Amino acid sequence: MTFEIFLQHLSNAVSLGSLYALIAIGYTMVYGILRLINFAHGDIFMLGGYFAFYALTTFLMPWWVGFIVAIGLTALLGMSIEKVAYRPLRDSPKVSVLISAIGVSFLIESLGVVIFGGIQKAFPIPDLFGKVMMIGNIYIVSVNFFIPVIAFIFLVGLMYLINKTKTGMAMRALSRDHETARLMGIDVDKVIAYTFGLGSLLAAVGGIMWGMKYPQLYPLMGVMPGLKCFIAAVVGGIGNITGAVLGGLIIGILEIMTVAFLPDLTGYRDAFAFILLIIILLVKPTGLMGENLAEKV
Amino acid sequence: MLKIRDLHVNYGGIKALKGININVPDGKIITLIGGNGAGKSTTLRAAVGLVKLSGGSILYDNNDLTGIKTKDIVSKGLVLVPEGRRVFANLTIHENLVLGAYARKDKLEIERDREKVLMLFPRLKERLKQKAGTLSGGEQQMLAVGRAIMTKPKLLMMDEPSLGLAPLIVKNIFEIIQNINKLGVTILLIEQNAKAALEIADYGYVMETGNIVMEGPGRELLNNEDVKKAYLGIA
């Protein structure tokens, strides 16, 4: 294998890893605040892709308008799911909310089959993202160049929001202590809704770019990426945003590189994430960047 | 200012409060003393809407608080500093103070209150960028009180502010409570350290297993034989 081919694989790996990172953030943020694994998150990712598809094909919007509309709709949908399926169970045992999340996941998938149809749809790739580019001596499809760039821009925005704004501070406060946050006059329900909106927004960005990278959509496309990104969040240390990004990148790179260097194992490509999960749980159960949340004064 | 009338609270089948009456007049320091499990914390938590009432009413500035959300009660100036300080350990001191003023819009006054807090607690000023979790217990209590001041309280309720602190710092905390009161904030104080609380209180209530068993001016209770025996450790 030449160095050029290696770089080509690497660009592919980093772009997949960036997508995983974007989706994993949604899992980790919701878990951080509600201690809930939002099993519907992978399906929200799928919806982001479909919304963009219909915006561009049925409604013939310019691609960037369509993408923005799709991202906005997905964020609103994420917030509605929280309101309808999770908020009424806020004071119920954790397992009830978990079951509700699994229910929402099945509901979205089944509705997807009914409404969108079970047959794959070809994603209408805008020219900008479908070009073959030459950087140095390597050829890459432009979408593989744009994915990490766009993911990075969204990450910077997210970090700013979390670390510098009052809402971000409230999110971090909520991840430790809901009751005290309430005592500060924080509208806890609103902050939780924002968190779902933000996570769903990032998942939608991921879903749209996924649609352009593997140019087809189908209602169950969110299942496997959803599982892998949940694993990415756990590997990085669930509740930790930097950890989720790191976990996503690691899983994406591991997956592509193993297939590239050990083609015999191609059939097992989905298994690597799970093997990594088992290893991490054995060696460092809190994840790479995770901390023990046991502390209480 | 705050009138608690015939307040009942049940946890499951257990009666935590069995009809208590408390009056907190404007500008005073009122204390609620009693042993573990007497229902002191429950009383304060009921006032800010963290636990549901089973009966009775809580009037604040002549408005019934039943069914009002905690965040709205806090915006009205009825503020609780919870037991165990509960600072946001993963946030800096500066951020903790900002969150205290979360629901406020009056930027100029927020800045003025921040100056006031940093003047009351110069220790915090030196450590603004530090994570709250790195502070000592006493400093955390100061931050918890400072953060509560940032919510612009009219009535500040404090749950065991001296718990687990060194005697010297306890003295300091009680001085601070008096200073805050002098700034015009009414105080409702819960304490197991009955002596210190009664010394600074205008009026006190003694609680036992969900009932008020005695009440009177702070000095009077301090000299009461039963109170001495039960809570002051003087035979």
Nearest to A176 among B79, B90, B98 (CB): B90
- The first and second tokens of residue B191, run together, are 């304490």
Q: Is the pLDDT of residue A191 over 70?
A: yes
pLDDT above 90 covers a percentage of chain A that reads 87
pLDDT score of A253: 96
d(CA A274, CA A31): 20
ipTM of predicted assembly, 2 dp: 0.91
- The first and second tokens of residue A271, run together, are 């298994």
pLDDT in tens, B36-78: 889 999 999 999 999 999 999 999 999 999 889 999 999 999 9
Ranked by mean pLDDT, the top range of A46-60, B180-194, B216-230 is A46-60
| Cβ–Cβ contact A2 with B under 8 A | no
pLDDT score of A11: 93
Domain B2-86+153-231 falls under CATH 3.40.50.300: yes
pLDDT in tens, B174-222: 999 999 999 999 999 998 888 899 999 999 999 999 999 999 999 999 9
Nearest to A297 among B71, B85, B104 (CB): B85
Which of A116-120, A221-225, B105-109, B162-166 has the least mean pLDDT?
Answer: B162-166
Q: Is residue A153 part of a domain?
A: yes
Residue A161, C-beta contacts closer than 8 angstroms, at least 6 positions apart: A167, A168, A198
pLDDT band at B226 (very low <50, low <70, confident <90, very high): confident
Interface contact B80-A297, CB threshold 8 A: no
Domain that holds residue A79: 19-222
Q: Is residue A238 part of a domain?
A: no
Q: Is the pLDDT of residue A295 over 60?
A: no
In chain B, what residues touch A175 (CB-CB under 8 Å)?
A: 90
Q: Which chain A residue's Cα is nearest to B136?
A: A297
Interface contact A186-B71, CB threshold 8 A: yes
| Cβ–Cβ contact A182 with B under 8 A | yes
Q: Is the pLDDT of residue A296 over 50?
A: no
Nearest to B99 among A170, A188, A295 (CB): A170
Q: Is residue A275 part of a domain?
A: no
What is the identity of the amino acid at A261?
F
Chain A nearest-CA distance from B225, in A, is: 36
Residue with tokens 């924002």, as numbered in its chain: A194
Q: Is residue A273 part of a domain?
A: no
pLDDT band at B20 (very low <50, low <70, confident <90, very high): very high
Strand-by-strand arrangement of the B55-60 sheet: B14-24, B2-11, B55-60, B63-64
Q: Is residue A101 part of a domain?
A: yes
CA distances from A18 to A11, A165, A269 (A): 11, 25, 17
| Cβ–Cβ contact A4 with B under 8 A | no
Q: What is the mean pLDDT of residues A204-220?
A: 96
Q: Is the pLDDT of residue B31 over 50?
A: yes
pLDDT in tens, A252-262: 999 999 999 89
Which of A53-57, A109-113, B7-11 has the least mean pLDDT?
Answer: B7-11
Nearest to B102 among A170, A179, A295 (CB): A170
Question: Best residue in B51, B52, B69, B70 to probe A by mutation, most A CBs within 10 Å?
Answer: B70
Give A218-279 as a DSSP string.
Answer: -TTTTHHHHHHHHHHHHHH-TT-HHHHHHHHHHHHHHHHHHHHH-GGGGGGTTHHHHHHHHH
* Closest-CA residue to B91 (of B50, B121, B135): B135
pLDDT score of A1: 67
Nearest to B88 among A176, A182, A295 (CB): A176
Radius of gyration of chain A (CA): 19
| A-proximal residues of B, 52-111, CB under 8 Å | 70-71, 74-75, 79-80, 82, 84-86, 88-91, 95, 98-100, 102-104
Domain boundaries, chain B: 2-86+153-231
Interface contact B74-A183, CB threshold 8 A: yes
CA distances from A12 to A17, A19, A258, B71, B149 (A): 9, 11, 12, 48, 53
Q: Is residue A120 part of a domain?
A: yes
Q: Is residue A178 part of a domain?
A: yes
In chain A, what residues touch B158 (CB-CB under 8 Å)?
A: none
pLDDT in tens, A130-149: 999 888 888 889 999 999 99
Q: Is residue A199 part of a domain?
A: yes
Residue count of chain B, please give it: 235
Please report the number of interchain residue pairs, chain A to chain B, with beta-carbon separation below 8 angstroms.
69
- Which is more confidently placed, B224 or A107? A107
pLDDT score of A134: 86
d(CA A46, CA A208): 8
Interface contact A176-B71, CB threshold 8 A: no
| Cβ–Cβ contact B152 with A under 8 A | no
Q: How far is CA B77 from the centre of its chain?
A: 13
Q: What is the mean pLDDT of residues A73-95?
A: 96
Q: Which chain A residue's Cα is nearest to B73?
A: A185
Q: How many domains does chain A have?
A: 1
Interface contact A173-B91, CB threshold 8 A: yes
Question: Best residue in B45, B78, B90, B136 to probe A by mutation, most A CBs within 10 Å?
Answer: B90
pLDDT score of A292: 62
Q: Is the pLDDT of residue A174 over 50?
A: yes
pLDDT score of B21: 96
Q: What is the mean pLDDT of residues A271-283?
A: 93
Q: Is the pLDDT of residue B227 over 90?
A: no
